[in-house]
A = this chain, B = another copy of it.
Amino acid sequence: MKLTSRGRYAVMALVDLARFDNVNPVSLRDISLRQGISLDYLEQIFSKLKKDQIVKSTRGTQGGYVLSKKPNEIKLTNIFQAVDEKVKTVQCKKDSKKGCNGKATKCITHNLWDELESHINSFFEKKSLEDLLKSNKENRL
């Protein structure tokens, strides 16, 4: 089980964005330079973030991205969901041949993964962008 770097980049970029969008929109180019993430890759990620209305965009010179909500309203769940970084443990739906179809007869460990999933998600649901900003006040890059 591992986290992909897409999810990590998304969070890094948004924290960066939250720090700098006070006045003007922030360009991906700036984020790319500051965080060391490929510009092209950032564009992919932000198109997803936009589709889920986590950020808004302005085109043209001086354009860029802005958060569409307040930092404390953006939870990690939202971010991960947007970039397809979902916590998926079991996919028993397909294995219907061997008893686990998610309905009547569950495989022996089915409940376990359900529990795990909600355990992880509860972590993501509590943490907001604001929390990350705060914990970075001291430990500033």
A141 B8 Cβ-Cβ under 8 A: no
A123 B119 Cβ-Cβ under 8 A: yes
B108 A141 Cβ-Cβ under 8 A: yes
Say if the beta carbon of A42 comes within 8 Å of chain B: no
Contact with B along A130-141 (1 / 0, CB 8 A): 001001100101
A3 B141 Cβ-Cβ under 8 A: no
Contact with B along A105-127 (1 / 0, CB 8 A): 11111011101100110010001
- Assembled-state Cα–Cα distance A11/B97 (Å): 19
> What is the number of residues of chain A that contact chain B, defined by CB distance less than 8 Å?
42
Residues of B within 8 A of A4 (CB): 1
Write the chain B residue with the least CB distance to A37. Answer: B98
The answer, among B11, B87, B88, for a CB contact under 8 Å with A109, is: B11
Residues of B within 8 A of A8 (CB): 89-90, 109, 113
Residues of B within 8 A of A136 (CB): 108
